[in-house]
Structure 1
Amino acid sequence: MGLNEELSKCVHCGFCLEACPTYVITRSETHSPRGRIAAVKLGINSEGLATCMFCRRCELACPSGVKYSDIITAIRKPNLLEKIILKMLENPKSLVSFVKPVLRLEGFSPLEYEDEDYDIVLFPGCITSVVFRKTVENALRYLKSQGYRVKIFNGCCGLAHAHVGEMERAKQLVGKLKEVQNKPIISLSSNCSAFMKENGLDVYDFSEFIVKLNKDLPKKDIEVTVHEPCHAHLLGLDKYTREVLLRMGVNIKESEEPSFECGAGGDYFLFHRELSEQVMSVKREKTLKSGVSTVVSTNPSCSIAFLKMGLTPVHVADLIFK
């Protein structure tokens, strides 16, 4: 469906408003999906077009089935700094020196690993491979314990490119992963999993793999709350995370609106710091209503956001060995 056809589906009913994190904090039509669609229809270069967090929660709320993501990616273009960051994401090794001064987090060289005659591919995702390398090590350890021979494929899935309208390059990156599609691919970053699935790649999210192949899990006596990453939630992948936790005997303490945007928005927190921090503040309040500060987060940008909130993010792969 073309851009004009997608735009015409919006009837400006307002169901999207309370689903949108930037509208929730600003109460401004400019910073709502409905307002952004109106701006595109009118050809207005609205400030709101730049402030969209690309969480796509509006798509779940929309009764008319508007695929808002197709609209925003069609009109967005990356600035020079975003282009530089995208290039770095494609080669995670180059991110190591970027992480500490910009994100104020420790960065590590991506884990390189390949068994002879490997039978599955582990895809950490660009940020996870550098900022949360321990998660990659734990995932590899778990897969090896289940008898698999593993190859780690370090790179970017293309979601960050789609976020700023670089759809052609995003699809090229998915194409690179298709080159190893003769082996099952297991993704550690849930929003990456969702993006790759939407773009024709047969990939398992980490928890999805455990559930669908009925893999062994240890029992854990621990209380956590669960964050549902935006794109993964759109495709229903968080149900696998919850099932794995239940199988492990983990006590899930529910937060308020677990799918509410974390505030990171990919690289949004670098370019729209004030709005990002306001969304994070709302998310922190909603999260702490669970009564616990340990958050199961299966997406790296979200985990960075929780660290900024002073909470403790943990991936399913980490919980297995906790």
Structure 2
Amino acid sequence: MKTEFTPTQLADPDIGEANTILRKCVHCGFCTATCPTYVLLGDELDSPRGRIYLIKEMLEKDQKPTAEVVKHIDRCLSCLACMTTCPSGVNYMHLIDQARVRVEEHYTRPLADRLIRAMLAYVLPRPGLFRMGMMAARLAKPFVGLLPGSAKPSHPPTVFDRMRAMLALAPGALPPPGPAGGSVFPAQGTRKGRVALLQGCAQQVLGPNINQAAIRLLTRLGIEVVLVADEQCCGSLTHHMGHDDDALRRARANIDVWVREADAKGLDAILVTTSGCGTTIKDYGYLLREDKAYAEKAARISSLARDITEYIGTLDVQWPQPKSEIVVAYHSACSLQHGQKIRELPKELLSKSGFVVKDIPEGHLCCGSAGTYNILQPEIARRLRERKVANIASVKPDIVSAGNIGCMVQIGSELKNAEGAPIPVVHTIELLDWMTGGPSPHNAMPQDK
């Protein structure tokens, strides 16, 4: 793609990076076939190629974002399927994130939109507040029918559409909190390694059992696990909302506490059980590349970051010899398969642990969760969820395995078998823990199927 940035513009490191990304795009259109919004809506401007053109015009002409441009940027899920498909290596992730920052800095959204975005950006990264919000949502859920009607699919979502989406996703009950930051879990037997485990934000509230399963499995395998004190949200949520100051502040705070822990007692890895967080932490080195005080430390932390399945794959695990007949449909979270390029390893681990593993048709397409997307774009998210649920049901699984809490909540809210009973959606690490001596996940089927 030809660009015409001025030398003054190119002196800005972000514009220089955008120019490099844009020039790699050859308009081939391969990305349109795997873009969920283009597949659903059929609008060129809701494809990566179309958005790239809009972003180029906005940046090159130094224009303020228009409502039309913002609409199409907001509709992007950041699923990154386009990056997996692109033969030219266009780093769409960094381009769309830069566009979102520009939108937040130079576009004034309607008041209701600003308020709900501010609320999400403030509450979700704070587990204590988020837990209180989920408790309030549980009380409000019976009254959702009193909200005004939905907007037409062709219209922007209203505040009431978004409130309905939030209430629909709220669980009926919350599990008790997991262990606090600063906790250390010694290895069983001879210690073979030491890792930090990201505590997460929403996952602390919605699925603390996930990290508890990871701790059980890791310590059985001789790995000491630490939940580092003073750890914060990784910054992923606010980063993808264009709130870069908040996201980078959180990244720096985490880098400081993780470097301190690594220097004091050593860390072989920083493990992540929420793949959306993992994609962002692995990108800290890029995000802070211009920060002289943090660039080197950020790159060090990114190099230590591992998805939990990546690390388990390096360990000597004694997998069970008897094979089960439990059929597991593996849902590959976008942030794992497209963001981190981890596609086959989780399925291989599940298969080794004894499950019958099945791929899901259209597995490259997003389920519609995408951080806050299923709240901010509820109609598109609903259609993507229905498509994903239908594809999962077609393989007739006993259990669905995933590596991201957002996907688990999104899919699990609607997934049922032919008899109308809910199909359990659990984290991959919970199944690996179960098959190597841990307890059955709380909502999984009995082991002796």
Partner of 1:191: 276
User: After superposition, where does 1:88-99 map in structure 2 within 5 Å?
Assistant: 88-99=123-134
Contact 1:73–1:166 at 8 Å: present in 2 too? Answer: no
RMSD of aligned residue pairs (Cα, Å): 2.3
Matched letter for residue 244 of structure 2: M
2:253 corresponds to which of 149, 162, 176: 176
Deviates more, 1:245-254 or 1:112-121: 112-121
**What's the CA shift string for 1:235-266, capped at 9, x where partnerless?**
22233312211220211022113232111111
Contact 2:178–2:212 at 8 Å: present in 1 too? Answer: no
C-alpha displacement of 1:173: 2.6
Partner of 2:87: 63
Q: Structure 1 pair 151/306, CA: closer, same or farther in 2 (3 Å)?
A: same
CA–CA separation in structure 1 for the residues paired with 2:375 and 2:360: 26
Is structure 2 residue 391 aligned with structure 1 residue 313?
Answer: no
Deviates more, 1:274-283 or 1:29-38: 29-38
User: After superposition, where does 1:1-322 map in structure 2 within 5 Å?
Assistant: 1-43=16-58, 45=66, 46=69, 47-76=71-100, 77=103, 79-100=114-135, 101=137, 102=166, 103-105=169-171, 106-108=173-175, 109-112=177-180, 114-115=183-184, 119-153=194-228, 155-178=232-255, 179-181=257-259, 182=262, 183=267, 184-199=269-284, 200=299, 201=302, 202-218=304-320, 221=324, 222-234=326-338, 235-292=340-397, 294-310=399-415, 311-319=423-431, 320-321=433-434, 322=440
Q: Structure 1 pair 116/191, CA: closer, same or farther in 2 (3 Å)?
A: closer
CA–CA separation in structure 2 for the residues paired with 1:36 and 1:29: 8
C-alpha displacement of 1:168: 4.2
CA–CA separation in structure 2 for the residues paired with 1:3 and 1:293: 45
Q: What is the DSSP-based 3-state SS (H/G/I as helix, E as strand, rest coil) of the residue aligned with 1:90?
A: coil
Matched letter for residue 233 of structure 1: Q
Matched letter for residue 54 of structure 1: S
C-alpha displacement of 1:117: 8.1
CA–CA separation in structure 1 for the residues paired with 2:74 and 2:275: 24
**What's the CA shift string for 1:113-144, capped at 9, x where partnerless?**
61288942221321221101122222222223
Q: Structure 1 pair 147/212, CA: closer, same or farther in 2 (3 Å)?
A: closer
C-alpha displacement of 1:301: 0.6
Q: Structure 1 pair 206/218, CA: closer, same or farther in 2 (3 Å)?
A: farther
Deviates more, 1:164-173 or 1:33-42: 164-173
Contact 1:99–1:131 at 8 Å: present in 2 too? Answer: no
Q: Structure 1 pair 314/117, CA: closer, same or farther in 2 (3 Å)?
A: closer
Partner of 2:446: none
Q: What is the DSSP-based 3-state SS (H/G/I as helix, E as strand, rest coil) of the residue aligned with 1:265?
A: coil
Q: Structure 1 pair 293/23, CA: closer, same or farther in 2 (3 Å)?
A: farther
Q: What is the DSSP-based 3-state SS (H/G/I as helix, E as strand, rest coil) of the residue aligned with 1:275?
A: helix
CA–CA separation in structure 2 for the residues paired with 1:236 and 1:33: 19
CA–CA separation in structure 2 for the residues paired with 1:267 and 1:129: 17
Deviates more, 1:2-11 or 1:277-286: 2-11
Matched letter for residue 215 of structure 2: L
CA–CA separation in structure 2 for the residues paired with 1:255 and 1:264: 17
CA–CA separation in structure 2 for the residues paired with 1:276 and 1:90: 21
Q: What is the DSSP-based 3-state SS (H/G/I as helix, E as strand, rest coil) of the residue aligned with 1:264?
A: coil
C-alpha displacement of 1:174: 3.0
C-alpha displacement of 1:280: 1.0
**What's the CA shift string for 1:130-182, capped at 9, x where partnerless?**
10112222222222323443322464222212212233433333333333241
Scaled by the length of structure 1, the TM-score of the pair is: 0.90
CA–CA separation in structure 2 for the residues paired with 1:66 and 1:104: 37
Contact 2:232–2:254 at 8 Å: present in 1 too? Answer: no
CA–CA separation in structure 2 for the residues paired with 1:8 and 1:236: 23
C-alpha displacement of 1:296: 0.7
Matched letter for residue 428 of structure 2: V
C-alpha displacement of 1:299: 0.2
Larger Rg: 2
Contact 1:280–1:305 at 8 Å: present in 2 too? Answer: yes
Matched letter for residue 316 of structure 2: N
Deviates more, 1:137-146 or 1:297-306: 137-146
Contact 1:228–1:238 at 8 Å: present in 2 too? Answer: yes
Matched letter for residue 397 of structure 2: V
Contact 2:125–2:202 at 8 Å: present in 1 too? Answer: no
Contact 2:336–2:342 at 8 Å: present in 1 too? Answer: yes
Deviates more, 1:296-305 or 1:82-91: 82-91
Q: What is the DSSP-based 3-state SS (H/G/I as helix, E as strand, rest coil) of the residue aligned with 2:98?
A: helix
Deviates more, 1:138-147 or 1:66-75: 138-147
Contact 1:253–1:291 at 8 Å: present in 2 too? Answer: no
Deviates more, 1:244-253 or 1:119-128: 119-128
CA–CA separation in structure 2 for the residues paired with 1:237 and 1:75: 26
Gaps of 5+ in 1: none
